[in-house]
Amino acid sequence: VITPLEWINGKLRFLDQTRLPLEEFYCETDEVDVIVDAIKRLAIRGAPLIGIAAAYGVASLRTNVNDAIYIRKHLMDVIKLLESTRPTAVNLFWALQRQSSVLIQWKTNSIADLQKQLLAEAKSIHQEDVEMCEHISSLGAELLPFSCNVLTHCNTGRLATGGRGTALGIITKAWELGRIKHVYIGETRPLLQGARLTAWEIKKWNIPATLITDNTAAYLIQKGKIDVVIVGADRIAMNGDVANKIGTYNLAVLAAHHKIPFYVAAPVSTIDFQVQTGSDITVEERNGREVTEVFGLKIAPEGMGVYSPAFDITPNKYISAIITNLGVLHSPFNDSLQNLRSRGESAH
């Protein structure tokens, strides 16, 4: 089993995903700056995993100062720093909000006590994600027809979450249930999470799979080789618009045009109850060198201008269903998401 993130002996041990599939290299750290850097450069990536890592980042508080006022201020700065790493995935803000609440509710002024509580909260965010993945995977697998050909994008498996994954969790669960014939993996330029990470994960599962360039998906779908498209999400607006890895909207249009289902899988923590529509979601733009260089190797002329949004926005009308840990949501998403929100609030 792949463990991309683990709390061991007071340190966060994480797999540096930028080095996959060439190398399985693990880092150990108790320094928040290292975690911040790892999230920024995508050594730790995947919306749920970023949230978990950030929660551990807050918990990796290491101080000899016994000054509660200083600690409060310091931790608020740490939370702000972690919030600044990636703007689009909402799980990050959600996890940091939970750590922020722990800090606010801290009354004892015992630093050791605070450390214990922050670590417990991080572990519980981590553990909850394991369970959310299981629920999503079971609910999603049931939606798939038997012996189907599925296309996925980016990486949404163990490397992206605390558990078995979201979209890829569904695929591996469906495989166990005999529902998968073949998996097609879009390589996901520019950072090749499909080629580097999903291909690597799926090989470990021994599921029959084929890697394609992103621009081959249309041709495969045209030829009837794809029955279902499943992707993850980085943020879901209250109307069901979805921010996800660049290329997702492209697949959504293709699925709609060729009349095959297009599913989005994500934990409830990916829903931003503050955001009404996709147009209100900030889309991160990445450095153009991620496009003009592959593993540091130049593939475009010096000085070429690049536009590299990390995500795109898929309007709700393209989405057949949103598969969450609390149930499968259908259109109209305004209603089904509002309903989910009410259930969440009444549970508290």
Catalytic residue numbers?
A: 234
Burial (CB count <10 Å: 0-12, 13-18, 19+), residue 264: buried
* 8 A C-beta contact, residue 256 and residue 219: no
Among 219, 276, 289, 342, binds its own copies (CB under 8 A): 219
Listed ranges 67-75, 86-94, 127-135, 184-192: which one lies at the site for its own copies (CB under 8 A): 184-192
What is the smallest separation between the CB atom of 67 and its own copies, expressed in angstroms?
48
Q: Give the CB-side neighbour count of residue 320, counting CA atoms within 13 A.
A: 20
Among 299, 346, 347, 348, binds its own copies (CB under 8 A): 299
Distance CA 124, CA 110 (A): 21
Among 106, 196, 231, 232, binds its own copies (CB under 8 A): 196
Among 124, 276, 294, 335, binds its own copies (CB under 8 A): 294
Longest dimension (CA), the chain: 66
* 8 A C-beta contact, residue 222 and residue 258: yes
289 lines the binding site for its own copies (CB under 8 A): no
Distance CA 262, CA 170 (A): 13
Nearer Cβ to its own copies (317/343): 317
* 8 A C-beta contact, residue 161 and residue 199: no
Task: Find all residues with CB under 8 Å of 284, minimum gap 6, and list them.
Answer: 86, 87, 88, 309, 310, 311
312 lines the binding site for its own copies (CB under 8 A): yes
Of residues 225 through 264, those in contact with its own copies by CB under 8 A are 246-247, 249-250, 253-254, 256-257
Of residues 50 through 89, those in contact with its own copies by CB under 8 A are none
Contact set with its own copies (CB under 8 A): 21-22, 184, 186-190, 192, 195-196, 199-200, 203, 208-220, 222, 246-247, 249-250, 253-254, 256-257, 288, 291-292, 294-295, 297-309, 312-313
